[in-house]
Amino acid sequence: MTESNDIPIRLTLNKSLKSVFCKPTETLLSLLRDGFGLTGSKRGCNQGLCGACTVLIDGKPMRSCLTIAATCNGRDVVTVEGLLENGKLSTMQQALVDSGGVQCGFCTPGVAIALTSLLREDPKPDRTKIREALSGHLCRCSGYIKIVDAAEAAAEKAGS
């Protein structure tokens, strides 16, 4: 059901081109979850504070809950689902699994996005850099240590 003030947009979503109508106040998070059925991005707060909805927009981590979907016209959006490589977990995602960085998993999609972006910009970050990249990603289960381990392990693996 489209209404007169719905906005047509085109965006690249996880490498494929999509055309869609969105409502003027619809957030990217709602569009992803309700419009595209991409429920990997989570709504933990809808206020920019928990990080669970983080996606890459034009290559940079941003909060999809604070992004008006219509502003994504012409942009490139990558969600946690889009990090998969040939249907398999990426090195970073696999490292989260192997290092025990995934417990309930609700924060994991946002964490995977943030760390993927970090490793693209800095392939050999130290633990302080990794923690800085995780700033603003709340995880109530893990105590963060194994998430930091995972980023180190992924950097190691990618470097070898």
Partner 1 sequence: MGPGMTFSEPETLDEVCSLLSKDPEARCLAGGASLVAMMNAGLLAPTQLISLRKIPDLGAITSMPDGSVKIGAMARHNDVAAFSGFLGAQRIISAAACRIGHPAIRNMGTIGGSICHADPSADYPTAITAADAVVSILGSEGARQVAARDFFVDWLETTLEQGEIAVSVTIPPDPSNASVHYEKFTRADGDFATVSVAACLGMSDGVVQTFRVVVGGVAEKPVRSPEDEAVFIGRPLKDSDIVEFSAALEALCNPIDDMRGSADYRLKLMPRLISRALKRAQADQLVSDSGETA
Partner 2 sequence: MTQEFSAVGLSSARRDSSEKAGGAAKFADDYSVPGMLYGAILGSPIASGRIKSIDLTEAKTVPGVVSILTADDLPDRRVGSFIKDEVTLARGYVRFVGEPVAAVAAETKEAADLAAQLIIVDFEDLPSVCSLDEALAEDAPLVHPGQDDYVRTSETPTNGNIFWSASILEGNPDAVWDSCDVIVEDTYETPGQYHAYMEPCSALAEPDLAGRITVRSTAQSIFYIQGRISDELDIPMSNIRCVAPKIGGGFGGKNGVSVQPIAVALARASGRPVKITLSRSQDMEMLRSRHPTRIRMRTGAKKDGTLVAREAELWFDAGAYTDESPAVLSFGMLCSRGPYNCPNISVKGHAVYTNKLKAGSFRGFGNPQATFASESQLDALAVKLNMDPIELRRKNAMKAGDHWLGGQTVDSCAMTQCLDALDERLKEEVSALPPAEEGWQRGVGVSGLSHISGLMGTSAFVNLRADGTVALQTGVVDIGQGSDTVLPQICAETLRLPLESIAYAAQDTDSSPYNWKTAASRITYTAGRAVMQATVEMRERILRDAADMLECSKDDLELDIGGTVRVVGADRKVSFREIAARAFNRVGGPIVGQHAFAFDGPRFDPKRAAMSNFAFDNLGVYVFGAVGVVVDVDTVTGKTIVQKVWSAHDIGRAINPQSVEGQVQGAVVQGVGYALLEELVWENGRLTNPSFMDYKIPDGMDAPSEITVMLIEEAPEATGPFGAKGIGEAPIVGVAPAIANAVFNATGARLTRIPMTSERVLNGILSL
CA proximity to 133, closest of 141, 142, 120, 143: 120
Q: Does 128 bind partner 1 (CB under 8 A)?
A: no
In the chain, % helix, strand, coil (3-state, to 5) comes to 40, 20, 40
> What whole-number distance in Å separates Cα of residue 49 and Cα of residue 61?
14
Of 49, 84, 97, 104, which one interacts with ligand FAD (CB under 6 A)?
Answer: 49
Q: How many residues bind ligand FES (CB under 6 A)?
A: 22
Where do runs of H (alpha helix) occur along 2-102? 28-30, 91-98
Q: Does 38 bind partner 2 (CB under 8 A)?
A: yes
Q: Does 144 bind partner 1 (CB under 8 A)?
A: no
In the complex, the residues that contact partner 2 under the rule CB under 8 A are 33-34, 37-47, 49-50, 52, 79-81, 83-84, 89, 93-94, 96-98, 100, 102-109, 112, 127-128, 131-132, 134-148
